[in-house]
């Protein structure tokens, strides 16, 4: 167990210091370890709140978390919308809950220099509540949807700053219904709908 912890710490240090091209790439296990650290630290993405409205029934409520690197960057730039290039080692997570506040899954984005230069060097991941990797790495669905937020380094600001249109939600998630709270946000903040 100690050897595994050392390996995880090394992999994360390599990413955070920009030595990825010379060292190991993050793994689902090492990233999950960092995700748990963000969850346990209860560090919210600036501008977000606990159990804010999600867009679909699969994420009826969400909690957006960040590590210290990403939080400092967002605060320095006065919000996600002003962030154009997150620093190496930035980790953003989203805990997705259903309508009864049951955790459904956790998604994560880790900025790792040299990982995927075509897509801003983000490692994308989706985990079960127990930490099983559902998707990891260069996940096309995540990358394509997040490309909408190109101006903010493919990171969505918490609602109501960035809202996806119903059309966009249906394109990426055709079988998912839009939640009533999210529909209310769309009506109240039509200027925040991303094109």
**DSSP string for residues in 114-134:** TS-GGGTTEEEEEE-TT--EE
Q: Does the predicted model carry a pTM greater than 0.75? A: yes
Residue 7 confidence (pLDDT): 42
**Do the domain assignments include residue 36?**
yes
**Do the domain assignments include residue 146?**
yes
Q: Are 53 and 159 in contact (CB under 8 A)?
A: yes
Rounded to 5 degrees, what are φ and ψ at 4?
A: -65, -45
**Residue with tokens 């998912």, as numbered in its chain:** 176
Least confidently predicted of 7-11, 116-120, 159-163, 184-188: 7-11
**Do the domain assignments include residue 183?**
no
Q: How many domains would you assign to the chain?
A: 1
**Do the domain assignments include residue 181?**
no
**Do the domain assignments include residue 139?**
yes
What is the span of the domain harbouring residue 97? 2-157
**Do the domain assignments include residue 122?**
yes
Query: How far is 7 from 151, CA to CA, in rounded Å?
Result: 35
Query: How far is 186 from 160, CA to CA, in rounded Å?
Result: 8
Which is nearest to 163 in space by CA: 90, 46, 81? 81
Look up the CATH number of the domain holding residue 90.
Answer: 3.50.70
Give the pLDDT band of residue 24 (cuts 50, 70, 90). Answer: low
Total length of the chain: 195
**Do the domain assignments include residue 172?**
no
């Amino acid at each position: 167990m100690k050897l595994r912890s050392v390996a995880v710490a090394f992999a994360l240090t390599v990413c955070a210091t920009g030595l990825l091209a010379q060292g190991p790439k993050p793994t689902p296990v090492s990233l999950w370890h960092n995700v748990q650290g963000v969850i346990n630290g209860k560090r919210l993405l600036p501008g977000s709140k606990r159990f804010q409205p999600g867009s679909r029934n699969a994420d009826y409520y969400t909690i957006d978390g960040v590590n210290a690197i990403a939080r400092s960057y967002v605060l320095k730039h006065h919000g996600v919308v002003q962030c154009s290039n997150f620093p190496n080692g930035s980790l953003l997570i989203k805990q997705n809950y259903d309508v009864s506040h049951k955790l459904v899954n956790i998604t994560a984005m880790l900025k790792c220099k040299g990982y995927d230069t075509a897509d801003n060097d983000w490692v994308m991941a989706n985990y079960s509540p127990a930490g099983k990797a559902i998707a990891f790495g260069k996940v096309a669905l995540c990358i394509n949807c997040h490309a909408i937020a190109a101006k903010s380094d493919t990171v969505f600001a918490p609602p109501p700053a960035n809202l996806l249109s119903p059309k966009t939600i249906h394109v990426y998630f055709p079988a998912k219904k839009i939640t009533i709270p999210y529909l209310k946000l769309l009506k109240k903040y039509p200027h925040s709908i991303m094109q």
